[in-house]
Homo-oligomer: A and B are copies of this chain.
């Protein structure tokens, strides 16, 4: 086993190196780094792999067995050079820009983050808007509206880099000049999928591109699944806009639920397979039904700062009346006049109650006296019976 070509005791270099050595999530690596720090942990690994030290037990022997193959070709300075050429930043635990919520991942937290764009975007209050690649026009519209709405509330949008809902959410945020953050499964030098390269470049300008793997890393299926835990952990709440019954977006939702992060799902037509996963989240996973930005912000729990307003609704004819008056008005014919005793029978009320209610209604300008008895005021003559 060769000696490492860089200073393994340098904690930043070592943290970067660990992100190359492990396939996330690797709780053994998380535990080791938390206990020793990245530098000493890397020196220990190097010593064990070269035979100059012993792994304590079978658990650590297995872990070293997983990590050692990549030690042979490891020179993390190359990946850091690539990041540098992209004006990127390495963010490690303890940095001001390190997102505190990642601590909730415990031993599954990443050793570092590779970031292009503004590292401040990482620590901003944020909402994850995620969903299916195979989205519908409906889902894309809703995702873009929610992305714009979240961005306008001065929160960052967090999503993946995929076609469909992810892309629509970023576009919505970018359209209103907001901040958006894309978490990539591969390196930040590999804008995948290629068709989203332009969009992801824009996200890097307006927010950040983030990965837990170094430049040059390809986006494997395992990395997509691992990346989903970062989306869920980083965001204050996760909203799934469209997802098939079985879908990667549900894995992000599962992480959000496991982390006790608020989880929302956007409903859609029951006939749409692209909404089946959202309905499943509502039925089986206790997701909250969210239909607009206000409800999403409510979910994200900006208590006192934002509450979903009660919808405006046209008051019905009887809505502002006390129940007795409403019943008497209800009993009045649409156009004809009626005497109080007849109204008592029609409404099933005592004559005294009817007289009292008629007084109230008269004061409110809802009924008029006429020679033939009581009748509705002109504005109160409905054109149709209500059901």
Contacts and interface: CB of A to CB of B under 8 A. Distances in A.
Interface of A: 21-23, 26, 62, 65-70, 72-73, 133, 138, 141-142, 160-162, 185, 192-193, 219-222, 224, 244-246, 248, 266-271, 275-276, 278-279, 282-283, 288-292, 295, 311, 313, 318, 326-327, 330-331, 341, 344-345, 347-353, 385-387
A24 to B, nearest CB: 9
A288 B141 CA distance: 26
A386 B23 CA distance: 17
A245 B348 CA distance: 31
Nearest to A138: B269
Nearest to A133: B387
A268 B270 CA distance: 7
Contacts of A192: 385, 387
B313 A245 contact: yes
Copy number in the complex reads 2
A385 B345 CA distance: 75
B270 A142 contact: yes
A335 to B, nearest CB: 14
Contacts of A72: 345
Given A66-B353, A291-B270, A313-B246, A330 B279 contact: no
Contacts of A353: 65-66
Specify which of A23, A67, A292, A353 lies most central, judged by the most chain B CB atoms within 10 Å of its CB: A23
A182 to B, nearest CB: 12
Contact of A270 (B248, B267, B318): B267
Closest CB pairs A-B (n = 8): A65-B350, A267-B267, A23-B348, A282-B289, A270-B291, A69-B344, A246-B313, A69-B345
A248 B341 contact: no
Contacts of A270: 142, 266-268, 291-292
A76 to B, nearest CB: 14
Given A267-B270, A268-B268, A283 B288 contact: yes
B70 A345 contact: yes
Given A276-B311, A289-B283, A386-B221, A21 B268 contact: no
A160 B23 contact: no
B22 A220 contact: no
Contacts of A222: 326-327, 330, 347
Contacts of A65: 349-353
A146 to B, nearest CB: 10
Specify which of A160, A185, A282 lies most central, judged by the most chain B CB atoms within 10 Å of its CB: A282
